Amino acid sequence: MLLDLHLTYDRAMSTVLPVSIGAAAKRTGCSVPTIRYYEEVGLLPAAQRTEGNQRHYDDAAIRRLAFIRRCRDFGFTIEQVRELVGLVNQPDRNCVEVRDIAQVHLQEVQTKLAQLQALETSLAAFVNSCDTACAGGPAVDCTILEDLALPATAAQPGRAPRAMRSCCS
């Protein structure tokens, strides 16, 4: 198994047991409040406590935090991370389950990219419309402001808004 959050020794992440929450944060790139949150929502087991009630983390907790952080860097939701952690903890489960989670997330990312590309096209059309029709005129007559005032159903993303009309004449 490539990833065992409980047993794998990684020299790059090795620690002197135990480490404080601040040291765990530095090693994993998570903030202290985020680490507390992960404990609160059950992604990370409750930390060992010192006599002074300070949290301390062992290598397994550091590795799990790094895993969670990496998942979040890729945009996986907390629930998706919970599923992935669950799959790591159950070695008899099939890796197709991991792939399926990643596939769903990939489709979500592709949908967002398409939406962002449509937004980019619309914004470029707004800027071009202003450049060709009214740049330098009164702001109140700007094609961008007029097009933004249209209901979403009247606007057509990707179409140059009022590109042929002049607002300043």
Q: Which residues contact 168 (CB under 8 A, 6 or more apart)?
A: 133, 134, 136, 137, 138, 141
Three-class DSSP category at 49:
strand
Based on the domain organization, do 50 and 114 belong to the same domain? no
Reported as a pLDDT band with limits 50, 70 and 90, residue 29 is very high
Q: What is the pLDDT of residue 157?
A: 47
Residues 117 and 89 in one domain: no
Neighbours of 63 (CB within 10 A): 24
Within a domain: residue 129? yes
With respect to residue 5, please indicate whether it lies within any of the assigned structural domains. no
> Residue 15 sits in which domain range?
11-93
Confidence of residue 89 (pLDDT cuts 50, 70, 90): confident
Is there a contact between 141 and 134 (Cβ–Cβ < 8 Å)? yes
Whether residues 83 and 43 fall in one domain: yes
Residue 117 or 134, more confident: 117
78 and 27 within one domain: yes
Does 167 map to a domain? yes
CA dihedral (111, 115, 120, 121) positive or negative: positive
pLDDT tens column, 38-88: 999 999 999 989 888 999 999 999 999 999 999 999 999 999 999 999 998
Query: For 121-138, what is each residue's pLDDT tens digit?
Result: 999 999 999 999 888 889
CATH code (residue 17): 1.10.1660.10
Count: domains in the chain: 2
- Tell me what the pLDDT averaged over the chain comes to: 84
Evaluate if residue 2 carries a pLDDT over 60.
no
**Whose CA is closest to 76, among 38, 102, 95?**
102
pTM: 0.71
Q: Are 122 and 132 in contact (CB under 8 A)?
A: no
Of the candidates 59, 1, 54, the residue with the CA atom closest to the CA atom of residue 28 = 59
For residues 20 and 47, state if they share a domain: yes
